[in-house]
Amino acid sequence: MKNYIILGFGEWKGIWTNPQWMAHELANQNNNVLYINPPAYRDLKISDIARLFQRFKKSDKKNIRIKSHLGQKFFPKELNNQITKRIIRNFPKPYKVICFQPLWLDFMELDFERDVIFFTDDYTQVHKNENRITELNNFIKKKFKKVIVTHKNLLNDFPEAIVENNCIPSFINLQKLQKFRKKDQVCFIGTISDMKVDVKKLQSFILNNSNKKFVFCGPIKNNKFLSFVETQKNVEYKGLLSFENAFKISQESKYGLMPFRKNEYTDSMFSMKFFEYILANCIVLSTKIKMFDGLDKNFKINFIDLDETILGDLNYTKNDNSIRNKIINEYSYASRIKRLRLKGYL
């Protein structure tokens, strides 16, 4: 058993992405894990109160302790830093820290040789404090020996880093996947935000394919698009679902949609949904973004123009079982952890 501290960029009880799934898999492999919810980087809103109370509820799992760093926007920064240091002092040693957000360095001192910095996005594009992120990125580039990125374009900022694409949860097993009769519907699993999705073009795509049903699962952060969805007879909005229930929607759907913008943020993004759609036996529909540059040519992607594509006219290609087996064997969190251990990162 080894000991790991995960400094996340998302809350344990929120939408699971890289930090939560890494913690989950490390714990499944009988390691001792401390997951710390991220500090509050912005001013609090009334809508945050319920989330803050959730942080105080005990939610530990087998081999995982869940704690929170409330940040200077809730408790005074130094007081909360002392609380977090006390939590860490009581955690078994030796341990390794895996940090998923550069702003943690404003709250924690990490070991340049031992600890790992993990970049899954270009945070300068998504955080209001772009200047501070840039300063911390430069500090990380100069000081830290173990940096991992999930897209090769992030090597522009961290040329000494290693690349590990986003992964699928390791409990997905091709042999155990339930067979679903496909519905003639298009699903999108994930967050609709202006940073990632051009909602006007997405609306055009839905209107141009009014004979198809569209199912959306996940937060919609654009109120105009939410209003549009609620008025369309061929659109169903499921809200935020558990991973298992969202994956079931993918398994029921003929098409899996990735309607991403082309911008500096998506240039360095690798969507986890790509592999999940393939495992769910969906026809993958995507705008052409840099995520696919350099990807194994055996992966089948159907590139679309949201303004023009009519699905009935599409001569699509589909991935077979050999590709699904490749994903399970090479792109799971278990296989990532194995590779990183062999390289001395974990």
Q: Give the pLDDT band of residue 41 (cuts 50, 70, 90).
A: low
Q: What is the pLDDT of residue 293?
A: 87
Q: What is the pLDDT of residue 314?
A: 84
The answer to whether 146 touches 164, Cβ cutoff 8 Å, is no
d(CA 335, CA 341) in angstroms, rounded, equals: 10
**What is the chain's mean pLDDT, rounded?**
89
**Could you please report the per-residue DSSP string of 231-300?**
H-TTEEEEES--HHHHHHHHHHEEEEEE-B--SHHHHT---THHHHHHHTTPEEEE---GGGTTS-TTS-
d(CA 231, CA 48) in angstroms, rounded, equals: 29
Per residue in 158-175, pLDDT tens?
999 999 988 888 767 666
Total-model pTM: 0.88
d(CA 259, CA 287) in angstroms, rounded, equals: 6
Domains and CATH numbers, the chain: 3-167+332-342 (3.40.50.2000), 174-329 (3.40.50.2000)
Q: Give the pLDDT band of residue 77 (cuts 50, 70, 90).
A: low
User: With 90 as the cut, is the pLDDT of residue 319 above it?
Assistant: yes
Per residue in 179-232, pLDDT tens?
778 999 999 999 999 999 999 999 999 999 999 999 999 999 999 999 999 999
Q: What is the pLDDT of residue 76?
A: 64
Q: What is the pLDDT of residue 54?
A: 59
